[in-house]
Each structure stands twice: as structure tokens, then as C-alpha cells.
């Protein structure tokens, strides 16, 4: 007998006896990766908060806001804020400053316009006292000037409201006393 045909028949019968079976291979994709990224909501950049200026301010006849310069403790007012010939002609309030801050005026504080007679007052729209601008000074406020050539004038027709208390007096003084703390007995 020929061995070759017999071996071939044996292999074919072995293959024919094999079924496709019950083994099904279904490939699946499992993502075992780890997300190591960090989400940090604190990375926002906020706009810087502007420090509020507690100094007195007013709007001039040109519509421009004029205000004192705040240095963190005191308010300084240049002659461009108020001085002789640069009178404040609108209502204004001088607030109390925190931590004993001082309002430092480099020029005189003129409120209202000077009028020589009643006809000038009438022409300016001031029919009676108090029709002009009002200066209000809050209890506890301290106002200081560099020397005795600088002062406060409340012109005819204008008003000043300044009501201090025993606990919060209103003080008008010199910068050598209020700011520098070096006033002597003769100052």
C-alpha cells in the first residue's frame, strides 16, 4: 500500500472531524491609560482692584472731576484743586479719613465767588444767603495748611456745615502739627 495516499486521507479525515468550534475571538479595546493633567481653577488673572480714593472731589464747570491725591493715609490737594482765583463753585464734602488721615491743602480753600454788592449776588443767581455752594466737613476730619498764608474763605452766599463731636472733633491746623508732628509752642 502506498503510504502517501493513506497519510493524505488520514489528514483530510482529521480536518473534516474538526468543527469550527465555539471559540470566538473578539478583539476589544480597553483604555487603561491615566489622565494626569491638572485642572486648576485658581489660574485666573483678575484685574487689579483699584484702591478707592477717599479724598474730597468735585466736578468743575468743564465737566472734569477734580480730586485730592490719596497716598494711603492722607489726602493732598494742590492749588489746582482750590486756591485764590480757583474757587470751588459747587457743593463739596470733606470726609473723615480712616486712621487719623489728614486733608493737606497746598493752597487756600475758597468756596463760592466773591461778590462786592447785592447786584453782583443777584446777577450770580444768589438771591439770599445759602444759594451758593456748600462746604460740608464731616465729624472727625482734620484739615491742614502749610503756613498762615493759606486759609479758608466761605464767600458771601455760600455755606459751611461742620458739626464735630467730642469723640470726633473737626480740626483746622498746620501741616507741621498734623502731619510732621513738630509744632512748637510758638507755632
Each residue's pLDDT tens digit, 101-118: 999 999 999 999 988 888
Give the pLDDT of residue 43.
57
Map out the domains of the chain as residue ranges.
64-178
Q: Residues 52, 58, 60, 66: is their CA dihedral positive or negative?
A: negative
Backbone angles phi, psi at 149, to 5 degrees: -90, -5
Query: Model-level pTM greater than 0.75?
Result: no
- If pLDDT is split at 50, 70 and 90, which confidence band does 2 have? low
Dihedral-angle region of residue 181 (phi above 0 means left; psi in -120 to 50 means alpha; beta otherwise): left
15 or 82: which carries more pLDDT confidence? 82
- Cβ–Cβ contacts within 10 Å for residue 139, how many? 14
Evaluate if residue 4 carries a pLDDT over 60.
yes
47 or 86: which carries more pLDDT confidence? 86
Mean pLDDT of 9-28: 52
Q: Residues 22, 23, 26, 29: is their CA dihedral positive or negative?
A: positive
Amino acid at each position: 500500500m502506498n503510504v502517501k495516499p493513506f497519510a493524505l486521507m488520514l489528514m483530510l479525515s482529521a480536518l473534516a472531524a474538526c468543527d469550527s468550534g465555539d471559540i470566538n475571538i473578539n478583539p476589544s479595546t480597553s483604555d487603561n491609560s491615566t489622565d494626569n493633567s491638572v485642572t486648576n481653577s485658581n489660574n485666573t488673572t483678575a484685574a487689579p482692584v483699584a484702591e478707592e480714593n477717599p479724598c474730597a472731589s468735585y466736578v468743575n464747570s468743564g465737566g472734569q472731576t477734580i480730586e485730592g491725591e490719596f497716598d494711603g493715609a492722607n489726602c493732598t490737594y494742590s492749588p489746582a484743586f482750590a486756591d485764590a482765583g480757583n474757587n470751588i463753585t459747587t457743593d463739596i464734602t470733606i470726609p473723615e479719613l480712616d486712621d487719623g488721615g489728614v486733608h493737606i491743602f497746598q493752597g487756600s480753600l475758597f468756596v463760592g465767588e466773591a461778590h462786592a454788592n447785592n447786584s453782583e449776588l443777584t446777577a450770580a443767581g444768589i438771591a439770599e444767603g445759602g444759594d451758593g455752594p456748600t462746604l460740608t466737613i464731616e465729624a472727625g476730619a482734620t484739615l491742614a495748611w502749610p503756613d498762615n498764608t493759606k486759609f479758608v474763605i466761605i464767600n458771601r452766599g455760600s455755606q459751611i456745615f461742620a458739626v464735630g463731636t467730642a469723640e470726633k472733633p473737626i480740626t483746622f491746623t498746620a501741616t507741621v502739627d498734623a502731619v510732621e508732628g513738630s509744632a512748637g509752642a510758638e507755632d
